[in-house]
């Protein structure tokens, strides 16, 4: 069976987020890739006897979105921190879209940061809805609940506690969000919209 393979990321020294935390976080990412493959293998195995394995098949199928989205979301998250921090390109496609949708970059950023501080674990996301030609900010619970169908994921901020608690403590959630934007390579984010 065709396998998903973990991607590697060229991550610099980051402000606030330690190399140790990144190392541990990458292990979790590798786990999502492994389990995405595992779900597909298990389904192939269990469907050999659908009647006997109906219940198990249902449970394994239910896990696929959790594992697959966990894999893809982390790829967007880590790749946006690759290389070095850059600013959003003035006059670029993403900036134009942000201004069109929110009036200003600051207005978008303010809304996104509020979403990032949503209680619970999950993801603060910026999506692009091609059909409507508009950007959408949203919160995604864990990763299998709330992803926007048929939209392109442009920016993903991991707000699971494993992404920041070792460096910031639970009370440092806000500082982690601030540092994420200091570390962000906007050129990578722009690629997600333009690619
Ligand atoms: Fe994560």
Q: Output the 3-class SS for the chain.
A: CCCCCCCCCCCCCCCCCCHHHHHHHHHHHHHHHHHHHHHHHHHHHHHHHHHHHHHHHHHHHHHHHHHHHHHHHHHHHHHCCCCCCECCCCCCHHHHHHHHHHCCHHHHHHHHHHHHCCCCCEEEEEEEECCCCEEEEEEEECCCECCCCCCEEEEEEECCHHHCHHHHCHHHHHHHHHHHHHHCEHHHHHHHHHC
Between the CA of 49 and the centroid of ligand 1 the distance, in Å, is: 35
- Please report the pLDDT score of residue 1 as a whole number: 83
- Please report the pLDDT score of residue 92 as a whole number: 96
Between the CA of 44 and the centroid of ligand 1 the distance, in Å, is: 28
Between the CA of 163 and the centroid of ligand 1 the distance, in Å, is: 5
Residues with C-beta atoms within 5 A of ion ligand 1: 158, 160, 163
Report, as an integer, the average pLDDT of 5-9.
Answer: 98
Confidence of residue 158 (pLDDT cuts 50, 70, 90): very high
Q: Give tens-digit pLDDT for 16-41.
A: 999 999 999 999 999 999 999 999 99
Between the CA of 3 and the centroid of ligand 1 the distance, in Å, is: 21
User: Over the chain, what is the mean pLDDT?
Assistant: 97
Between the CA of 91 and the centroid of ligand 1 the distance, in Å, is: 32
- Please report the pLDDT score of residue 21 as a whole number: 98
- Please report the pLDDT score of residue 134 as a whole number: 96
Between the CA of 78 and the centroid of ligand 1 the distance, in Å, is: 9
Between the CA of 38 and the centroid of ligand 1 the distance, in Å, is: 19
- Please report the pLDDT score of residue 168 as a whole number: 98
Between the CA of 82 and the centroid of ligand 1 the distance, in Å, is: 16
Q: Give tens-digit pLDDT for 53-91.
A: 999 999 999 999 999 999 999 999 999 999 999 999 999
- Please report the pLDDT score of residue 97 as a whole number: 97
- Please report the pLDDT score of residue 195 as a whole number: 75
């Amino acid at each position: 069976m065709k396998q998903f393979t973990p991607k590697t990321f060229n991550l610099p020294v980051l402000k606030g987020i330690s190399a140790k935390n990144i190392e541990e976080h990458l292990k979790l990412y590798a786990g999502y890739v492994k389990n995405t493959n595992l779900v597909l293998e298990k389904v192939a195995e269990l469907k050999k006897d659908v009647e006997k394995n109906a219940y198990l098949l249902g449970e394994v199928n239910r896990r696929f979105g959790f594992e697959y989205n966990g894999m893809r979301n982390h790829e967007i998250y880590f790749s946006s921190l690759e290389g070095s921090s850059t600013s959003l390109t003035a006059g670029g496609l993403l900036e134009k879209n942000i201004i069109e949708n929110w009036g200003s970059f600051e207005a978008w950023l303010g809304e996104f940061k509020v979403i990032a501080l949503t209680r619970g674990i999950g993801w603060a996301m910026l999506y692009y809805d091609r059909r409507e030609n508009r950007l959408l900010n949203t919160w995604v619970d864990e990763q299998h609940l709330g992803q926007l169908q048929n939209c392109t994921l442009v920016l993903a901020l991991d707000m699971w506690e494993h992404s920041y608690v070792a460096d910031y403590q639970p009370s440092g959630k806000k500082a982690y969000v601030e540092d994420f934007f200091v570390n962000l390579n906007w050129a990578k984010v722009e690629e997600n919209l333009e690619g």
